[in-house]
Amino acid sequence: MDNSIWSVLDIIFVGAGIYVLYGWLMLRIKGEIVTTSILFSKDVELRKCKDLEGYKAYIAPRMLVFGIAAILYGAAGLVNTYVAPLPGAVYGAVMALFLAVLIWYAIATRKGVQKFW
């Protein structure tokens, strides 16, 4: 298979990680939740949150971990494709770590919505 599709996906992962970190910065600096972010589904209305400050405190560290993991995974893929091939075990470990963080983040956001809405 052509590496170009994987490179596009790696760029998307890096971009998604940067976007999540942007959302995290907005949350930490201005206290604002970027409503177009991947924090919760479109069915959830921000104004109906029972404890918005509690939700912000709950989700902020999880956003930071997820954003960093996405950037690292995308960067590892780009390095693997364009700079130097990474050993299979290293690339596999990075992929497994990212998938674990992705699943953890999805579960955490769902629990956060259940807890604070």
| pLDDT tens-digit readout, 65-85 | 999 999 999 999 999 999 999
Which residue segment(s) compose the domain that 96 sits in?
3-116
pTM for the full predicted model:
0.88
Cβ atoms of 33 and 54 within 8 Å: the answer is no
d(CA 79, CA 6): 12
Query: How many domains does the chain fold into?
Result: 1
Q: Would you say residue 1 has pLDDT above 50?
A: no
d(CA 101, CA 80): 21
